[in-house]
Structure 1
């Protein structure tokens, strides 16, 4: 009896794992196609270095529909234009005289600090389009890039901070805090910038996951309904499948006659009295419950037994819609959606625990 429930658990976990992998694959395809990770990063950098100006993180709304509508498809792509040339060997200082700007109380001049930072990071860029593909900046690399900008200023860190304050860059406040905490020591300042940026990237990762989870939820709902995956019904199918196979095993051991075999498989195979039952047994064993997990999808695929025949595709729109609108299936749909939110890594770990599988370790 215990083995029956273990088989049931393994079957359900394997089904959830397959669907979770499909959800993860589609999510990764969308993220790569729309370069969402890179856009999140450079939106944050524009917000931090240049104050947003309508293009940084501040323009990313919180509503789900706006995340889809504005972040991936916006005309105002926050990423700098890709430059295939190496970084300039000579760093130009910030073209701002803070004393003149502050004395005249003029509007802050426009200085594209994001572009200046990108010039120091061009070596880690890859030519994948008109815009940069950088989606991750190591904190150590960021701190050295910032020090290169500091080295170009006559006043060093103080000079750069003064110019950033003149152009009203939010980065000025962060750098001043790190500079004061480092007690004006350049080595400690570099380490402080590295630690500060590492903390910012962790915060940005949390923000990114908060938005992406809605994408995962949407994909989980769409795939569950598309494949009409009722977990409760699938569990019952697994139990029936195990019972059929146990009956066939008992018959093979000589416990039942051919007539009893026909009776035990009557409902499953609809065997007529004049039909050889063993062909039906072959069909039962070649079509386990796991293979039928997608039988109720909008389009099903059937592979014929003949070697010469190819797969056939059948549209089941009518039956799929009737199944979808049947209230009795909704609890199973909700369980499937909830299970897929745990992710493929979670179900893979559960499957390894149930089967006792251990990956190979390099010694």
Structure 2
């Protein structure tokens, strides 16, 4: 009996793992195709280095619809244009005179700090379009880029911060705080910039995950309905399948009971071959097609592989699928499946390893 429930747990966990992997794959394909992760990073950098868009609003979206409905198709792409050339060997100083700019009558010059930062990072870019595809900047690489910008200024860190303040860049306040904490020590300043940027990336990742979880939930619901994956029904099918196999194994091993006692259940499981199917043929059919193999048989489109090794066939199950979809008895199982998919593939993989006792080596 314990093995039956262990098989049930493994079957359910494996089903959730497969669906979670499918949800993650669809989501990752969507994100990569539209460059959402890269756009999200450079939107943050635009806000931090240049202080928002030309309209005075933040580049970072504030709503889930803005991230996955507006950002991918917006004409105002926050990413710099891709350059196939390596980073320039000489960093030009920022063309700003703080004393002149800070005067009451002097306008704020148009300095694209995001573009200047990209010029120090373009060597890690990949040519996949007109815009940069950089979606992750290591903190040590960012601090190195800042140090290169500092080295171009005659007054060092103080000169760069003064120019950033003159153009009203939000980065100025962050760098001044790090510079004061470093007590004018360049090594401490670089380490401080690295630690600050690492913390900012963690905060940005948390914000991004908060948006993504709603997309993952929506994809989970869609795939659950498309595959008609009723977790409660599937669990019952696993229990019946495992109990039936245990009974047949007991009979084959000389246990109590007879093959005739299972004839009715065999006929029910072998409806594809008719009610007069031979018991031995039914046993062979059931043992070769366990419940785990039939996990997606109720999908709107299913694939059948012939037992004789022929070409697989694609079957349209629109009528049966729709009947299952509008049957209230399946709704609790659909809800359970959609909620289970929220935990993600790493969670279900860890659960599967714990149940099976599998441990990674090395």
TM-score by length of 2: 0.94
Of 261-270 and 328-337, deviating more is 261-270
Q: Measured at CA, do residues 272 and 185 of structure 1 come closer, stay the same or move farther in structure 2, by a change above 3 Å?
A: closer
Tell me the secondary structure at the aligned position of residue 314 of structure 1: strand
Question: 1:209-230: CA deviations, max 9, x gaps?
Answer: 1111112111111111110111
Tell me the secondary structure at the aligned position of residue 129 of structure 2: coil
Is 1:286 matched with 2:296? no
Give the match for residue 230 of structure 1: 230
Give the match for residue 355 of structure 1: 356
Q: Measured at CA, do residues 236 and 275 of structure 1 come closer, stay the same or move farther in structure 2, by a change above 3 Å?
A: closer
Give the match for residue 318 of structure 2: 317
Give the match for residue 145 of structure 2: 145
Structure 1 residues 59-208: aligned runs within 5 Å: 59-208=59-208
Q: Measured at CA, do residues 54 and 341 of structure 1 come closer, stay the same or move farther in structure 2, by a change above 3 Å?
A: farther
Tell me the secondary structure at the aligned position of residue 162 of structure 1: helix
How far apart, in 2, do the equivalents of 1:281 and 1:212 lie?
Answer: 46
Contact 1:38 1:135 in 2 (8 A): yes
How far apart, in 2, do the equivalents of 1:26 and 1:345 lie?
Answer: 16
Contact 1:4 1:242 in 2 (8 A): yes
How far apart, in 1, do the equivalents of 2:239 and 2:269 lie?
Answer: 13
| Root mean square deviation of aligned Cα | 1.9
How far apart, in 1, do the equivalents of 2:70 and 2:326 lie?
Answer: 33
Give the match for residue 344 of structure 2: 343
Q: CA shift at 1:37, angstroms?
A: 1.7
Contact 1:91 1:152 in 2 (8 A): yes
Contact 1:50 1:113 in 2 (8 A): yes
Q: Measured at CA, do residues 297 and 54 of structure 1 come closer, stay the same or move farther in structure 2, by a change above 3 Å?
A: farther
Contact 1:46 1:57 in 2 (8 A): no
Q: CA shift at 1:299, angstroms?
A: 0.5
How far apart, in 2, do the equivalents of 1:356 and 1:280 lie?
Answer: 33
Contact 1:46 1:55 in 2 (8 A): no
Tell me the secondary structure at the aligned position of residue 321 of structure 1: helix
Aligned length: 360
Q: CA shift at 1:316, angstroms?
A: 1.2
How far apart, in 1, do the equivalents of 2:277 and 2:352 lie?
Answer: 40
Q: Measured at CA, do residues 248 and 151 of structure 1 come closer, stay the same or move farther in structure 2, by a change above 3 Å?
A: same
Q: CA shift at 1:55, angstroms?
A: 8.4
Question: 1:12-59: CA deviations, max 9, x gaps?
Answer: 011111111111111111121122221111111111000112589923
Q: CA shift at 1:276, angstroms?
A: 2.4
Tell me the secondary structure at the aligned position of residue 21 of structure 1: helix
Tell me the secondary structure at the aligned position of residue 72 of structure 1: helix
Tell me the secondary structure at the aligned position of residue 288 of structure 1: coil
How far apart, in 2, do the equivalents of 1:333 and 1:273 lie?
Answer: 32
Contact 1:23 1:220 in 2 (8 A): yes
Contact 1:55 1:77 in 2 (8 A): no
TM-score by length of 1: 0.94
Question: 1:152-179: CA deviations, max 9, x gaps?
Answer: 1122111111111111111111111111
How far apart, in 2, do the equivalents of 1:148 and 1:218 lie?
Answer: 44
Q: CA shift at 1:109, angstroms?
A: 1.4
Contact 2:81 2:130 in 1 (8 A): yes
Q: CA shift at 1:287, angstroms?
A: 1.0
* Unaligned runs of at least 5 residues, structure 1: none
Question: 1:306-341: CA deviations, max 9, x gaps?
Answer: 23x311111111211111111111111111011111
* Unaligned runs of at least 5 residues, structure 2: none
How far apart, in 2, do the equivalents of 1:110 and 1:274 lie?
Answer: 85
Contact 2:47 2:59 in 1 (8 A): no
How far apart, in 2, do the equivalents of 1:192 and 1:313 lie?
Answer: 59
